[in-house]
């Protein structure tokens, strides 16, 4: 979990006056195929999600007055557009709960990086408030609420590495190796909407199986478009060429897998000082599952 800006040892923990934080882990897309386009404009995908132990942190304080409030600013994101606020409002409507919440998010994951930070924040909000409000919704019910918030939100609700199809909502848990990843964070934000609307995007990849992926089929169909349109991503990928660098989602983050933390950290040390990056461990189970178990045991 080592990074250039921080040691990673405070990715979740105690907040002053707020109790214990709720983790919102990042994900990597280990492959991404666009296999079709639906009549409603959404794309049919195949992808493999793996979580990593780099997390945003959320602190949530229950309110008796029913008000949902974001505490603190998020640059470029108005409060009512914030996915944590939208998630809380969606849960309150679905559950009929009369309570509210103050939500504070400490960001460690870049926006527009393909790590799913906003989606993970939304999922953590749903899971945490379901417990704190004693709403009693099942995992399936939370995943149903989650999908309109974003195609990646359900995988964070489930909290397990997964083979995914559809728009990313049809999930089958998988057990994957848990290597150490070097993740580079180019100084740009990639628009998922722009990538998926690009005329040169491949939209007719053939379907593969999990076995195909496990035997090395790790194509990301978004890569040619992103490499062409975003020179910062193209440059970062070139730096990772010796280790088989890949793009996560539509980017901008790129990554490579290593068998040990020391090897990943050594590779990070060889990167240009001005390029952001961090080392994190792949995980098949989200720390959010343990956090909610601890909460419900209280």
Which residues have a catalytic role annotated? 27, 152
Residue extents of the structural domains in the chain: 14-175+287-297, 180-283
pLDDT at site 296: 85
- Any idea how long the chain is? 298
Q: Is the pLDDT of residue 8 over 50?
A: no
The mean pLDDT of the chain is: 93
Mean pLDDT, residues 113-141 taken together? 97
- pLDDT tens per residue, range 237-265: 999 999 999 999 999 999 999 999 999 99
Burial of 298: CB neighbours in 10 Å, binned 0-12, 13-18, 19+: exposed
User: Per the annotation, does 115 bind a ligand?
Assistant: yes
Distances (CA, A) of 111 to 6, 14, 24, 106: 18, 24, 14, 13
The fold for domain 14-175+287-297 equals Ribosomal Protein S5; domain 2 (3.30.230)
Question: What's the CATH code, domain 180-283?
Answer: 3.30.70.890
Note whether 173 and 161 are within 8 A (CB).
yes
User: Per the annotation, does 282 bind a ligand?
Assistant: no
Q: What percent of the chain has pLDDT over 90?
A: 88
pLDDT at site 108: 95
User: Per the annotation, does 216 bind a ligand?
Assistant: no
User: Per the annotation, does 117 bind a ligand?
Assistant: yes
């Amino acid at each position: 979990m080592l990074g250039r800006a921080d040691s990673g040892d405070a990715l979740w923990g105690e907040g002053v006056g707020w109790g214990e934080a709720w983790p919102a882990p990042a994900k990597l897309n280990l492959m991404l195929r666009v296999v079709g386009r639906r009549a409603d404009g959404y794309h049919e995908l195949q992808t493999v999600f793996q979580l990593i132990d780099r997390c945003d942190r959320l602190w949530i304080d229950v309110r008796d007055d029913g008000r949902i409030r974001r505490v603190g600013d998020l640059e470029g994101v108005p409060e009512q557009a914030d996915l944590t606020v939208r998630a809380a409002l969606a849960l309150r409507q679905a559950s009929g709960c009369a309570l509210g919440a103050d939500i504070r998010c400490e960001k460690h994951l870049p926006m527009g990086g393909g790590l799913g930070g906003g989606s993970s924040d939304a999922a953590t909000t749903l899971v945490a408030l379901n417990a704190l409000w004693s709403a009693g919704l099942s995992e399936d019910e939370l995943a149903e609420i989650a999908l309109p918030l974003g195609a990646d939100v359900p995988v964070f609700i489930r909290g397990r590495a997964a083979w995914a199809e559809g728009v990313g909502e049809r999930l089958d848990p998988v057990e994957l190796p848990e290597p150490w990843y070097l993740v580079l964070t180019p100084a740009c934000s990639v628009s998922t909407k722009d990538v998926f609307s690009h005329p040169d995007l491949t939209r007719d990849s053939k379907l593969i199986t999990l076995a195909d992926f496990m035997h090395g089929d790790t194509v990301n169909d978004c890569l040619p478009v992103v490499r062409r349109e975003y020179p910062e991503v193209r440059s970062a990928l070139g730096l990772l060429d010796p280790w088989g660098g890949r793009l996560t989602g539509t980017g901008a983050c790129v990554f490579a897998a290593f068998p040990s933390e020391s090897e990943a950290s050594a590779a990070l040390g060889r990167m240009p000082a001005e390029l952001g990056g961090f080392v994190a461990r792949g995980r098949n189970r989200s720390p959010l599952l343990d956090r909610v178990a601890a909460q419900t045991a209280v």
